[in-house]
Chain A
Amino acid sequence: MEHAKLYERLAERLSKLEKFPRIKEDKSIATLMEEHGISRRDFMKWAAGVTAMLSLPSSFTPLMAQAAELTDRLPVVWLHMAECTGCSESLLRTDAPTIDSVIFDYISLEYHETIMAAAGWQAEHNLESAIAKYKGKFILMVEGGIPAGATENYLTVGPHGQTGFASAKKAADAAAAIFAIGTCSSFGGVQAAYPNPSNAQALSKVTSKPVINVPGCPPSEKNIIGQVLHYILFGTLPALDAYNRPKWAYGLRIHDLCERRGHFDAGEFVQEFGDAGAKKGFCLYKVGCKGPYTFNNCSRERFNQHTSWPVQAGHGCIGCSEPDFWDNMGPFEEPLGNRLYHTVYGEGADKTADKVGVTLLAATAVGIAAHAAIAAIKGSGKTEE
């Protein structure tokens, strides 16, 4: 029943959106798909995938397809701040390069240039014209941390040397919806790690409007595209967690759906990289996996066309979609509960566990460490050579 109502509401929203003019009058997304030889069948398959990812029932697939075709009503402006460009490069990991890039190319006005991370004049020019033409209607996506205060000029863009801070603020003021793409833009990221030399800040510190965070270093390309479609479909903020992350993507921990989870529960751990347990694909907790403290869907969605993800490649999760993970989750090859020495932030094991606890997880952190310890005594001793 509830689903039927939701379906109706979304269908209504889409039919309203359909009345909006297209970004480019002469071409629709649908004709472009056709031109690029994307069959209806492939397209529907793709739509079904996105529907499942957003945790919607499969009966919503036609709506998703329609939403994708209506992306041509909503322009996206992509801004680059202090960053490594890894977030936009992340889009190159997509399963369906043709479909995704047809959509992105169309809606982000100059996507082909964006993938080459063209900031500067082009971005400023796009921004100016987008603001003039689509004020209050465009989706703003920002990649990178934003130097603020006395070090604001550690990042300037464009011919007038405008600071990153000023241009992000200007864009945010005129946007309909604001997405922070990647951990840098969501929480400050690597440049905001201690001692934060450039005083890099999260996008949410630059504007008073609500910012949807899509963190990850880099973020999953699926989460980026999913969030765009979610917005088109719903027109509202998605259900968010305490850090403004959409719950459809960041609702579960890496650990919850991890392929090595069975080994964790059985107390079978890799004790040292390269040991027999590593060959057998045992759990990586004891060599530093932060999956139990990290909310994201990597274990389910993986990367680079579903090929792999860090845990599959034998290294633990480093917690890259959590706030301040650079300062809280290291050392990355040691479990949190097992910290051996004082670090740059001058804390020992317990304090750090507390700090992670602040990020929702005190009980989990202690519990996990205890489980690992007990399970190790109970079980894994036997299996090690």
Chain B
Amino acid sequence: MKITKEIIERIEGEATLELQWHEGVIDFAKIKFFNFRGIEKILEKRVLYDAIAITPRVCGICSHSHALASVLAIESCFKNAGDVLHISQKAQDIREIILNAEKIQNHIKWYFFTIFSELQKLSNTPFEGNAFKDKAWFHAQKAIVESLKMGAIFSGQWPHGSFALPGGVTCDPVRSDFIMAQNTLEGIVAFCEEYLYGMPLEEFLSFSSALQVMSSVRRLSYGIETMIELGFDRIGRSHDRFLALGDSFLYEEPSKAVKTTVLSADSKHVHESLEHTFFSDTHKGYTYSKSAQYRKNYFEVGPLARMMIGKDVLIRDFHRRFKDATLTRVVARMSECAHLLLRTRELLSHCDITMPSFIPPKANPHDLCGEGIGIIEASRGSLIHKVNVLYGHIHSYDIITPTVWNLGNGDKENPSVAQKAIMGLDSIEKADFVFKSFDVCSVCTTQ
């Protein structure tokens, strides 16, 4: 059996794919991440609230998702100890605006810097010259910068803002802050309408058929066409099982979906495994990344999962035609971006600034004992923080990042989500692109 090793570039950090070939086809893939910092270990014995500052450093790309997940985890500790915190609607809105800003910039960055340029490389029908050198790149960068700015109006900075604490948010924005944020957002919307969707957001979001999306010749439809040309509408399929454990405006409640059947889900069925890691076996292990399962099954998390669980008509149409192929995954993320933009516009215009930003907990955090769990739907999917606290100090802290769900390692009989998507492909280039369609980030996979 032939074995090849592929380093995956132009992702956040570095990953290696070890591919096992059988008669020209990938028989199995091992996904390896070679960096480990031990953040969970560092959190032990520290003062509980320090988690809110430390966990964002797990990942510079979704740092505010981590900050929020740790705040939710601590709030749930308070709740379990009998102090149910009231988080004002305003504070909830501001948290969501900040989170959305982080996701919007991530989605734009991923499409323009990774997906689009990869497609350019793979295809022989280039789009208006070089993806990296053409002006759109600079416009995309500007939209990213603006999106981060919009969040920073409330979070103080990005990445690694300290803006949320159990009880609310620390900022007290005034009307003009919201106006500045709205103006900034409209700039990003204009970019997306012009360069990505090629039509007004509302029109794009009213679509129910894949064919409608193709009607405008912009980067998204170019991407779709190219993916179809290259066969990504048929490959990159995984288990067709989806999971979203955090809250989102896209659906009613945390759920799982098997194909198109949606059922409610509960984080108590989440199981984390150290199999195949250096931690479980220094000799046989081959990665620093853990894996996560739901009732012993691998589930895909991320935008596609959220859209499937939210029964989004457009993505369901893509799914009906192409199943959970790479194409569907890519379109789901870019379609979520449109939803996020619209949702943020709504939040910015409706937020009631007369409400309090912060209502302090009644219980003293230094006396807190017990457990808490916080789940955030981050750019790449469900991010789970679990904390066990003893008299205000962290006894243990467990972080399950979205990439651990998608990019963990199972075995040939029960492969992980990304492994399943890669198995059966006949070229390294295809495997590379399919892998990237999960929006890979190595720093948070291993922490």
Contacts and interface: CB of A to CB of B under 8 A. Distances in A.
Interface of A: 36, 80, 82-90, 92-94, 97-98, 101, 112-113, 115-122, 145, 154-159, 161, 189-191, 193-198, 200, 217-218, 272-274, 278-279, 281, 302-305, 307-316, 318, 320, 326, 330-333, 340-341, 343-344
Nearest to A86: B60
B152 A85 contact: no
Contact of A340 (B7, B113, B366): B366
Interface stretch (B164-172, B314-322, B341-349): B164-172
Q: Classify the interface of chain A: helix, strand, loop or mixed.
A: loop
Contact of B60 (A84, A155, A156, A312): A84
A16 B10 CA distance: 36
A56 B133 CA distance: 34
A117 B15 CA distance: 12
Interface stretch (B50-58, B218-226, B264-272): B50-58
Given A217-B57, A273-B167, A303-B156, A159 B5 contact: yes
A310 B14 contact: no
A120 B15 CA distance: 8
Contact of B45 (A83, A311, A344): A344
B284 interface: no
Contacts of B39: 190-191
B61 A197 contact: no
Contacts of B288: 154
Interface string B51-90: 0111011111101000000000000000000000000000
A93 B47 contact: no
B9 A121 contact: yes
Given A84-B59, A217-B57, 5 more contacts: A122-B9, A158-B14, A218-B60, A274-B356, A332-B52
A332 to B, nearest CB: 5
A330 B358 contact: no
A86 B113 contact: no
Interface stretch (B142-150, B241-249, B370-378): B142-150
B7 A197 contact: no
Interface string B151-185: 01111111111110101111110000000000000
B356 to A, nearest CB: 6
A303 B152 contact: yes
Q: Classify the interface of chain B: helix, strand, loop or mixed.
A: mixed
Given A84-B59, A122-B10, A154-B35, A313 B154 contact: yes
B52 to A, nearest CB: 8
B172 A85 contact: no
A218 B37 contact: no
A224 to B, nearest CB: 14
Contacts of B113: 112, 115-116
B350 interface: no
B38 interface: yes
A315 B148 CA distance: 18
B87 to A, nearest CB: 11
Nearest to A96: B145
Contacts of B135: 36
B109 to A, nearest CB: 8
B358 A97 contact: no
A113 B157 contact: no
B159 A120 contact: no
Contacts of B53: 318, 330, 332
A284 to B, nearest CB: 9
A155 to B, nearest CB: 5
A308 B61 CA distance: 19
A137 B46 CA distance: 44
**Which of B12, B161, B162, B163 has the most A CB atoms < 10 Å from its CB?**
B162
Contacts of A157: 14, 34
Nearest to B164: A315
B60 A332 contact: no
A103 to B, nearest CB: 13
Contacts of A333: 49, 165
What is the size category of the interface that chain B forms with chain A?
A: 35 or more
Contacts of B11: 116-118
A309 B36 CA distance: 30
A156 B356 CA distance: 48
Given A94-B145, A112-B113, A159-B7, A89 B60 contact: yes
Given A313-B170, A333-B49, A305 B443 contact: no
Nearest to B288: A154
Interface in B21-47: 34-39, 41-42, 44-47
Contacts of B5: 159
A344 B394 CA distance: 10
Interface in B91-139: 105, 109, 113-114, 132, 135, 137-138
A36 B43 CA distance: 46
Contacts of B141: 92, 97-98, 101
A307 to B, nearest CB: 5
B424 interface: no
B60 A304 contact: no
Given A82-B37, A120-B14, A158 B149 contact: no
B137 A85 contact: no
Nearest to A102: B138
6 contacts: A85-B443, A161-B34, A191-B42, A272-B360, A304-B157, A308-B156
B14 A119 contact: yes
Nearest to B152: A304
Contacts of B52: 332
Contacts of A189: 57
Given A155-B35, A278-B170, A92 B145 contact: yes
Nearest to B15: A120
**Which of B41, B137, B148, B170 has the most A CB atoms < 10 Å from its CB?**
B170
B149 to A, nearest CB: 5
Given A121-B7, A197-B37, A318-B162, A305 B171 contact: no
Contacts of A197: 36-38, 41-42
Contacts of B41: 195, 197
A98 B138 contact: yes
Nearest to A80: B13
Nearest to A339: B47
B167 to A, nearest CB: 7
A273 B170 contact: yes
A207 to B, nearest CB: 21
B158 A93 contact: yes
Contacts of B12: 85, 116-117
Nearest to A312: B156
Nearest to A182: B60
A307 B153 contact: yes
A307 B149 contact: yes
B236 to A, nearest CB: 20
A155 B26 CA distance: 28
Contact of A303 (B45, B114, B157, B170): B157
B37 A200 contact: yes
B393 to A, nearest CB: 8
B160 A217 contact: yes
Nearest to B166: A273
B357 interface: yes
Nearest to B50: A330
A97 B145 contact: yes
Contacts of B392: 341
A84 B358 contact: no
Contacts of A87: 60
Given A190-B57, A314-B172, A318-B53, A84 B158 contact: no
